[in-house]
Amino acid sequence: MQGNKEPIAIDRRGQRRGIYLLPNLITTAALLAGFYSIVNAMRATPENGLFVVAAISIVVAGILDGLDGRVARMTNTQSEFGVQFDSLSDMVAFGVAPAILSFSYSAQYGGKSGWIAAFIFVACVALRLARFNVQTDTADKRFFTGLASPAGAGVIAALTWSLADAGIGGQDWLWLYLPLTAVLGTLMVSNIKYRSFKELDAGSKVPFMALAAVVAVYALISLDPPRVLLLISVIYLLSGPGEYAWVTLRGNSSRHK
């Protein structure tokens, strides 16, 4: 019946308002993965295997986060709503979820220092996302300013996955988790440049060897996913400070010639 229909929202130009479904569905899936990680991290014990589930959920959220933006660009469905929704999803999946995972697995044994380190991580993710949003139109697309939040979350997730999968408790690794959690947060709000790889176009042609290299990487990951992902995440983590130090040293040497 016509009288039971809800009115349709119309904008000032007379067009129907709405949101693009596909990219926002992917963002919602990433948000769900982050929330699922939090739920499992809060219930996890060294015996029930839920630390592994929580860590894998963050990795899944990272994969989905890498897809939603690319799908939006490929289908020409970018929107301001999508940008803001993606940031809120990132805050949960790559801010709160890894901080709780770090705290539940190891940092809790540090008392006040543990939750302070976890809070530093969460606060820095929020600051980094806010800075990214206001600089998105002016920043160099080839680089991130500061460590990207999915990469920081990936380090904690891969490390926890590796240790928990081997049956190792987090109490003995407090010496690493406390400084690592805080340092990851600090790197996110730093001015150190990290390569974004956004210049790589999925629709462009590449040499055959590039495809073969991708296949080799997939095969390597399948051999031991947690430890290979940990190695990749640590290499990327160190790449920013390493490149910064290299450029600084080259600049100093050039001035002294």
Q: Per-residue pLDDT tens for 59-117?
A: 999 999 988 888 888 888 888 888 899 999 999 999 999 999 999 999 999 999 999 99
Of all residues in the chain, the percent with pLDDT exceeding 70 is: 85
**Helix, strand, or coil (residue 9):** coil
Measured CA angle at 241 (ends 236, 242), to 5 deg: 80
Strand partners, 10: 16
Q: What is the pLDDT of residue 5?
A: 44
170 or 5: which leads in pLDDT: 170
Q: Which residue has the tokens 């949003």?
A: 133
Cα–Cα distance, 65 to 48 (Å, whole number): 28
pLDDT at 11 > cutoff 60? no
Read off the tokens for 52.
Answer: 């592994």
* pLDDT score at 10: 42
Q: Pick the closest to residue 241 from 125, 124, 147, 156 (CA basis).
A: 147
Q: Which of 34, 48, 175 is nearest to 98 (CA)?
A: 34
As a whole number, mean pLDDT of residues 116-137 equals 92
Alpha helices in the chain (DSSP H): 21-43, 50-74, 80-91, 97-105, 112-135, 149-165, 174-188, 208-223, 225-255
Distance of CA 37 to the CA centre of its chain: 13
pLDDT score for 6: 41
Higher pLDDT, 154 or 135: 154
Distances from the Cα of 50 to the Cα of 10, 254, 256, angstroms: 47, 53, 56
Q: Would the pLDDT of 170 be above 70?
A: yes
How far apart are alpha carbons 106 and 150 in whole angstroms? 20
* Structural domains of the chain, with CATH: 16-255 (1.20.120.1760)
Q: What is the mean pLDDT of the chain?
A: 86
The structure tokens listed for 165 are 């999968």
Amino acid at 73: R
pLDDT for 220:
83
User: How does pLDDT run across 180-210, given as a tens digit for each residue?
Assistant: 999 999 999 999 999 887 666 555 666 767 6
- pLDDT of 157 > 80? The answer is yes
- With a cut of 50, say whether residue 212 has pLDDT above it: yes
pTM: 0.86
H/E stretch holding 195 reads: strand 193-195
SS3 state of residue 32: helix
- pLDDT value at position 164? 95
> Quick one: pLDDT at residue 217?
79
